[in-house]
Structure 1
């Protein structure tokens, strides 16, 4: 599932006041179901990382750092999903790979609640969630070179021309993602919008921190991405799903 959201204009105002760069989301704050409310009360103490904030609610204080061993109780490879949505992909991965740790980054509260509920049912104790703006998680909260993989599946395409500046993957983003990735770590992306796929490929091809980890025009579909209703809907509408995967060039 994606990090796409359609929310309320006050979030755009918040972003304008407190951030120099436009955020790639509009935070949804609709009413949660009773089960989702219970998830926050009962499951958030275990799954949801309490992040020190700067000014905005979804910001990360520049001095905040994630202590992996303290959070997960061990030192294991870490996969980070940006815009985890309902959590289908990352819960499936976490429950099937108990030897790895996983971090879901999302600002949609109902999606975070659903992710916690599904993770609890699946017994995925190696998953944690962060309610925060993704670039701030990658640029400050995560220790440098701490992630073995970063996933960005179906981010909001901001398909109107006047909104494309809000896209997550744009010039400047590769350096942010590269900071969090370990040497030879993988950046995996997927989208059902052709022009965004082309933009992603152009931006990452030009980034000195990354090298293609695929042959041909596009990468093969990532087996670790579960097929969701969202992806099936895009296919049913005739939109081709395009995958990309890039390897973090070793630091000098």
Structure 2
């Protein structure tokens, strides 16, 4: 039998708003503290992020700054975004603390692994972009640079480019969690998702076109992992759904056995 939420009394609206403000403030403080600690290393952080492109620059070529304040503002912006990405576990933990009191016990058993998985998948998507996508993509760009054109990328444009890819791959790697949730809450079933596989593949490439720069390599490198992650989500969702159905059948059988024990007339006649 499912347990009731930890608190079955409704909180006043003011209490909810106060609790929400506290969680938001803690998240903001976490981001600012991480930013303060990372700011001293802002130049090193930018050099690390720019390494995949710099490795393919022609001999003697460097990155450039076309804006007056770009040498300061670009590493500053990157450090702020790095602090935001690194503080995601804290932010998600604050979100969890806000919504957890209203969840049932069986919902919490599912929510905690999903929360941890979403964090790991987001970081996994960023790591995939940095270690796999960037070297392939920048190597291709360097190889097709027209003769007589110096490949010297502006640091501000490069930062916007890689941040878009980091976010796109981080969100795309959340597909197993989203697919699992759709199956778990009963919005769709596994059979429907499997029949929709061709449309999902087309949708993955469409999303890749929207979220990535206009080149076929980055689009494909985003679309293919999205499709594979969708398949992983369907597989995990089918396993949990099957287990839930077995548990429901066991509960029904147990309830029927208890009813027969209390009233022998309910027992099947030979």
TM-score class, shorter-chain normalisation, is: under 0.3
Normalising by structure 2, report the TM-score: 0.25
Which of the pair is proportionally richer in helix? 2
Normalising by structure 1, report the TM-score: 0.27
Which of the pair is proportionally richer in strand? 1
